[in-house]
A and B are shown apart, each in its own frame.
Chain A
Amino acid sequence: MLSALTFLAAADIPAKSSSQEIFARETYPEARPPLRGFRAPILDHADELWPFNLPDVDSTPELHAASTIIQTQLASDGLLSTTAQIFAALPSKTLPADAAGLLDFFKRAGLPIDLLAAFIPSDQPSTSPAATLQSIQSLVLHDHVPASQIASRFSFAFQPSAPGFAIACEDGTSDFAQIRLQLPSARYWQGLGDGGAVDIARQLTERISSARFLIGIPSDQREAIEQLLAPGAHASKASVTYFSSSLTLAQWAQDNGKPGFISAASPKLATIVPRYASRGEDGATFIPGETFIADALAETGPTVIQSPLLFQGGNLLAYHQPSTGKKILLIGEAELYRNIALGLSQDQVLQAFCSEFNVDQCITLPAVSFHIDFELSIHIQGNRMLAFVNDQTLATQAILSCTLQPLVSLQLLSNESALEAAQAIRNKNFESALSIIMPPIMDQAVSPGRVPLSFAKNFAVGSSDSGVGNMQRILLAADLATACNVPLDLNDIDPDTQTYFRALRRLQSDRAALQHQLEDLGFVLVPIPSLADGSRCLNYVNMVQGKTRLLLPAYGGLFSPVDAQVRQIVQDKLGADVQIVQILTGETQRRQGGLHCAVSAYYEP
Chain B
Amino acid sequence: MLTHVRSLFVALAAFVMVSSRAFAALPAQSQPQINPDDPMQVQVRSNLIKQPLGDQTLAVLDLPDQFLSRVADRIIRESFEQNFRIIVDTQPAIQPASAPGAPASLPSAATAPAPASPKKISPLFWTLPIPPGLVIVLMIVIRRNRRKASL
Interface residues, chain A, with chain B CB atoms under 8 Å away: 32, 34-36, 54, 67-68, 71-76, 110, 184-185, 190, 197, 248, 250-252, 255, 278-283, 285, 287, 312, 314, 333-334, 337, 340-341, 366-371, 374, 405-406, 409-412, 434-435, 438-439, 441-469, 471-472, 475-476, 478-479, 482, 488, 492-497, 499-500, 502-507, 509-510, 513, 533-536, 557-558, 590-593, 597
Contacts and interface: CB of A to CB of B under 8 A. Distances in A.
B15 interface: yes
B102 A492 contact: no
Nearest to A72: B60
Tell me whether chain B's interface is mostly helix, strand or loop, or mixed: loop
Nearest to A535: B2
B83 to A, nearest CB: 8
A337 B64 CA distance: 9
A468 B108 CA distance: 10
Contact of B126 (A71, A75, A312, A438): A438
A34 B71 contact: no
A256 to B, nearest CB: 10
**Top-5 shortest CB links A-B:** A370-B146, A279-B145, A448-B128, A438-B126, A461-B101
A534 B74 contact: yes
Interface string B6-32: 000000001100000000000001110
A463 B55 CA distance: 50
Given A370-B145, A448-B130, A502-B38, 20 more contacts: A34-B53, A279-B148, A333-B67, A371-B146, A410-B96, A442-B126, A447-B115, A450-B115, A453-B87, A454-B94, A463-B102, A466-B107, A469-B107, A488-B124, A493-B124, A503-B76, A504-B77, A506-B73, A507-B77, A591-B148
B70 A439 contact: no
Interface in B98-148: 98-107, 110-111, 114-115, 117-122, 124-131, 134, 136, 142-148
Nearest to B64: A337
A584 to B, nearest CB: 14
A438 B146 contact: no
A196 to B, nearest CB: 9
9 contacts: A68-B55, A371-B146, A443-B121, A447-B131, A468-B1, A495-B15, A503-B38, A503-B73, A535-B2
Interface of B: 1-2, 14-15, 29-31, 33-35, 38, 40-41, 48, 51, 53-56, 58, 60-64, 66-71, 73-74, 76-78, 80-81, 84-94, 96-107, 110-111, 114-115, 117-122, 124-131, 134, 136, 142-151
A460 B34 contact: no
Given A34-B54, A71-B56, A334-B67, A439 B125 contact: yes
Contact of A341 (B61, B71, B96, B122): B61
Contact of A449 (B85, B89, B104, B145): B85
A71 B53 contact: yes
Given A190-B105, A442-B128, A280 B76 contact: no
Nearest to B140: A282
Contacts of B92: 452, 454-455
A434 B54 contact: no
A434 B122 CA distance: 13
Nearest to A502: B38
A251 B130 contact: no
A252 B150 contact: yes
A471 B144 contact: no
Contact of B121 (A190, A248, A439, A458): A439
Given A250-B151, A446-B88, A462 B126 contact: no
B88 A479 contact: no
B134 to A, nearest CB: 8
A446 B115 CA distance: 8
Contacts of B147: 250-252, 255, 279, 591-593, 597
B126 to A, nearest CB: 4
Given A479-B85, A591-B2, A492 B124 contact: yes
Given A282-B143, A409-B97, A593-B146, A499 B122 contact: no
A110 B56 CA distance: 13
A255 B145 contact: yes
A506 B145 contact: no
A453 B108 CA distance: 10
Nearest to B102: A463
Contacts of B38: 499, 502-503
B99 A453 contact: no
Contacts of B51: 282-283
Contacts of B149: 591-592
B62 A457 contact: no
Contacts of B125: 434-435, 438-439
A250 B145 contact: yes
- The interface centre, meaning the residue of B51, B68, B148 with most chain A CB atoms within 10 A of its CB, is B148
A369 B84 CA distance: 22
Nearest to A439: B125
A496 B130 contact: yes
B142 to A, nearest CB: 7
Contact of A282 (B58, B96, B101): B58
A365 to B, nearest CB: 12
Contacts of A497: 80, 84, 127-130
B129 A366 contact: no
B84 to A, nearest CB: 4
Contacts of A479: 85
A252 B146 CA distance: 10
A475 B35 CA distance: 24
Contacts of A444: 93-94
A434 B60 CA distance: 46
Contacts of A314: 146
Given A280-B145, A471-B87, A591 B77 contact: no
B102 A460 contact: yes
A573 B88 CA distance: 42
A318 B38 CA distance: 36
Contacts of B107: 466, 468-469, 590
Contact of B122 (A54, A251, A448): A448
Contact of B93 (A452, A469, A535, A593): A452
Nearest to A405: B100
B96 to A, nearest CB: 5
Contacts of A35: 54
Nearest to A513: B30
A173 B103 CA distance: 42
Residue among A71, A441, A452, A476 facing the most chain B CB atoms (10 A cut-off): A452
Interface centre among B14, B38, B51, B88 (most CB of A within 10 A): B88
A251 B150 contact: yes
Given A497-B129, A504-B77, A458 B146 contact: no
A503 B97 contact: no
Nearest to A593: B147
